[in-house]
Amino acid sequence: MQRWVVIVVLSALSVVAHANEPLPGDIVRDLNGLQSQLAEQPSGEVDDDVLNRIISHARSQSSRLASGNRADQWASALYHQLAASALVRQGDHLAAADELASAQQRPSVPNSQILRWLRDEASLRRAGNQRPEAITLYEQWLTQSQGSPHYDESAWRLIRLLAEEERWDEAIEWLSPLLQKGGLTDTQQTLTTVVIRNTEQNEQTLGWLVDGLTAQSEPDAWRQAAGLAQQMGQAGVAAGVWEMAWQLGKFTSAEDRLTLIRLHLAGGTPARAGEHLDAAIEEGVVARDEETLRLLAGAWQQARHVEKALSAWRALAESTQKAEDWRQYGQLAYRWGQDGQAEEALIKAANLGDDQAGQWLSNFEK
């Protein structure tokens, strides 16, 4: 919150310099003097005597000037802000929020400044654990502040507050447009998952979010939509999203293709995983090493494509020369009625010292 104090003080100085209503010289000097006293307080330390004097004087001045002309009312608002800055230094967030609420009521305050104070008040209500009040203030600010550089940051704060209050349907309304932008942090991704899981008809909500993706959507938006689907246990949806992004050229790296393959395996489309992996090996995008060959064998086996699965298992066994790989190849060939391949593979496994292979070979004895 100390950083927030600095922002408040600098904002007040700027307001004095660009006030719509000219202020008398003695008021400007008094405001600057109080701001200087506040700014001179050591960071991390609180001198309550100094802060109490600032608060008392600022409150007295704000009250005295409140019923005056427009310039007086403008000065009254600035004194409220100074009192708020000092109260934040004392850790009294709610009293500071009350000061900013009073500052916003002065009729001569420009709308741009009211919006800044509205957002600051929301942050203070949030810090003071007045969540319902903070929610209302953030909603008011966001409704009037489209395009602000602080919009997304404030929207995420609102979503978290709504989630803490278990107001899931309201949270998803504010969340949806943010998801279309992509670029979520790990914390935001976690919050998004919590909100969607607690939204009624969450599968329908997830589908609606995915449907909002277009060819113009950023790669991060596609990536995070797939990640959300996967976290929701919708592996098939995740695979479909990643596949579409791949076809649109959103993902191009070898790691992206391997992710696509794994998603297809998890999502129940192993044949598509096998096709992608065959293509990647042929194009030299991924190495034809043990890990890749094992993944390929598993994909075609899961797809129950006899010829390609047995070919992949043979290639794996020939590459690793591991007894268990020859045995698994032989067992699979036997189950699929390919006795010749099965016997050959099991003999190789037995010769490499696999005891189980010998037991399986007994099935071929006359």
Q: Which residue blocks in 107-253 are alpha helix, DSSP H?
A: 111-127, 131-144, 151-164, 168-179, 186-198, 202-211, 219-231, 235-247
- What pLDDT band is residue 201 in, cutting at 50, 70 and 90? low
Q: DSSP letter for 217, please.
A: S
Query: Which residues are CB-neighbours of 286 under 8 A, at least 6 positions away?
Result: 254, 257, 258, 277, 280, 292
The residue ranges of every structural domain in the chain are 1-144+152-166, 209-320
pLDDT of residue 4: 46
- What pLDDT band is residue 181 in, cutting at 50, 70 and 90? confident
Give me the DSSP letters along 319-330: HH--HHHHHHHH
pLDDT of residue 314: 94
Global confidence as pTM = 0.64
Dihedral class, residue 129 (left if φ above 0, else alpha if ψ from -120 to 50, else beta): left
Model confidence at 6: pLDDT above 50:
no
Give me the DSSP letters along 15-38: HHHT-SSPPPHHHHHHHHHHHHHH
Model confidence at 236: pLDDT above 80:
yes
Share of residues in the chain with pLDDT > 70 (%): 91
- What pLDDT band is residue 2 in, cutting at 50, 70 and 90? very low
Kindly report, residue by residue over 43-62, the tens digit of the pLDDT.
667 788 899 999 999 999 99
Query: Which residues are CB-neighbours of 124 under 8 A, at least 6 positions away?
Result: 84, 88, 93, 94, 96, 97, 100
Query: Which residues are CB-neighbours of 359 under 8 A, at least 6 positions away?
Result: none
Which CATH number is associated with domain 209-320? Answer: 1.25.40.10
pLDDT of residue 180: 73
Lowest mean pLDDT across 39-43, 107-111, 257-261: 39-43
Kindly state the average pLDDT of the residues 148-159: 94
Residue linked to tokens 């939509």:
225
C-beta separation of 183 from 217 below 8 A = no
Model confidence at 15: pLDDT above 50:
no
Q: How many residues does the chain have?
A: 366
Q: Tell me whether residue 343 is exposed, middle or buried, using C-beta atoms within 10 angstroms of its C-beta: 0 to 12, 13 to 18, 19 or more.
A: middle
The residue ranking higher by pLDDT, 202 or 20, is 202
Lowest mean pLDDT across 32-36, 141-145, 206-210: 206-210
d(CA 51, CA 90) in angstroms, rounded, equals 8
- What pLDDT band is residue 365 in, cutting at 50, 70 and 90? low
d(CA 174, CA 135) in angstroms, rounded, equals 12
The residue ranking higher by pLDDT, 214 or 161, is 161
Model confidence at 356: pLDDT above 90:
no
pLDDT of residue 23: 85
Kindly state the average pLDDT of the residues 312-333: 91
d(CA 148, CA 141) in angstroms, rounded, equals 10
Q: What are phi and psi of 202, to 5 degrees?
A: -65, -30
Please give the mean pLDDT across all residues of the chain: 87
CA quadruple 43, 46, 51, 52: dihedral, nearest 10: 170
Residue linked to tokens 């100074």:
82
What's the distance, CA 87 to chain centroid?
33
pLDDT of residue 13: 44
The residue ranking higher by pLDDT, 21 or 308, is 308
Model confidence at 17: pLDDT above 50:
no
C-beta separation of 325 from 354 below 8 A = no
pLDDT of residue 18: 47
Closest CA to 297 of 278, 324, 284, 283: 278
Model confidence at 3: pLDDT above 50:
no
Kindly report, residue by residue over 237-276, the tens digit of the pLDDT.
899 999 999 999 999 998 999 899 999 999 999 999 999 9
